[in-house]
């Protein structure tokens, strides 16, 4: 069973899951997520790649670290973490808020990113037509608390809501998240705009989206697909925001076809 690793000799090192060998493949989780959400992908790709899934500061086993209030801050933390474990060049997968971070990493260090996968995400942090506004999420977070808010938001990530097979696993991944961390994530998304940077992304890019995603409507992945020169589009049918957990077999097959087998 894969577990989250923490280097006790370096309190600044992000907790993470790492498995396999080969060219590095990095997965960045989204808001109220964690490294364990990628377990299906880590198991599927660790035979071909050195798979690394960090937990962002304030999340999961990195809960003791102060959360960032900007997407750029998260991007710098991930880049610093990868440098500390001697990973210089890598394929990069980012989901949701993690997709914003992945785009910003590509902006900050384009020479380090080989292939880019923007999954369930878009170029604009103030997401249009989200199931609720970020301001509403902020109000509910303050009034209802993290646990209730996380459970409610997680239910929107699956087409079957709280009855989804992986819902409970997803909802319970936020046990260590504080109100401060949750509010910081909302602020980071709210103030981020990556639209101007899209045209400068020259990496081979895959835009991946579930067609029943309630967090990012079609305009968001469409903007990435049309705005990034070397981009391809894959739409997963009958999947919500957490398509990689709803249909991991299809998700993994799309990723495997897109990524170079070895490098």
Question: pLDDT, tens digit, for every residue of 195-216?
Answer: 999 999 999 999 999 999 999 9
pLDDT number for residue 175 = 79
pTM confidence score: 0.95
On the question of pLDDT at 21 being above 80, the answer is yes
As a whole number of angstroms, the distance between CA 218 and CA 237 comes to: 13
pLDDT band of residue 231 (cuts 50, 70, 90) is very high
Can you give the pLDDT at residue 172? Answer: 85
Q: Which residue has the tokens 């109000």?
A: 139
Q: Are 94 and 122 in contact (CB under 8 A)?
A: no
Q: What is the mean pLDDT of residues 218-245?
A: 97
pLDDT tens, position by position, 44-86:
999 999 999 999 999 999 999 999 999 999 999 999 999 999 9
Question: How many helices and strands (H and E) does the chain possess?
Answer: 10, 7
Where do the domains of the chain lie, and which CATH numbers do they carry? Answer: 16-258 (3.40.50.1820)
- Asked whether 37 and 170 are in contact (CB, 8 A), the reply is yes
Q: Any bridge partners for residue 205, and if so which?
A: 116, 231
Residue 257's CB: how many other CB atoms inside 10 A? Answer: 10
pLDDT band at 255; cut points 50, 70, 90? very high
């Amino acid at each position: 069973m894969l577990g989250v690793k923490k280097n006790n000799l370096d309190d600044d090192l992000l907790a993470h899951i790492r498995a396999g060998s080969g060219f590095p493949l990095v997965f960045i989780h989204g808001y109220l997520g964690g490294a364990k959400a990628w377990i299906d992908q880590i198991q599927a790709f660790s035979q071909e790649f050195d798979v690394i899934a960090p937990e962002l500061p304030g999340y999961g086993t990195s809960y003791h670290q102060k959360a960032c209030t900007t997407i750029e801050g998260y991007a710098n933390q991930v880049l610093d973490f990868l440098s500390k474990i001697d990973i210089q060049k890598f394929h990069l997968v980012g989901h949701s808020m993690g997709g914003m971070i992945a785009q910003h990493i590509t902006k900050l260090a384009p020479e380090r990113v080989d292939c880019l996968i923007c999954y369930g995400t878009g170029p604009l942090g103030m997401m249009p037509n989200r199931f609720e506004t970020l301001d509403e999420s902020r109000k509910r977070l303050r009034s209802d608390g993290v646990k209730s808010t996380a459970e409610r938001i997680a239910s929107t990530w699956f087409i079957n809501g709280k009855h989804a097979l992986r819902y409970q696993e997803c909802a319970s991944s936020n046990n260590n998240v504080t109100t401060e961390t949750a509010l910081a994530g909302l602020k980071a998304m709210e103030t981020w705009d990556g639209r101007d940077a899209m045209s400068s992304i020259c990496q081979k890019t895959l835009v991946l989206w579930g067609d029943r995603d309630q967090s990012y409507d079609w305009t968001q992945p469409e903007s990435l697909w049309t705005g990034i020169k070397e981009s391809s589009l894959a739409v997963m049918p009958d999947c919500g925001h957490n398509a990689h957990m709803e249909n991991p077999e299809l998700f993994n097959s799309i990723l495997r076809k897109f990524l170079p087998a070895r490098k």
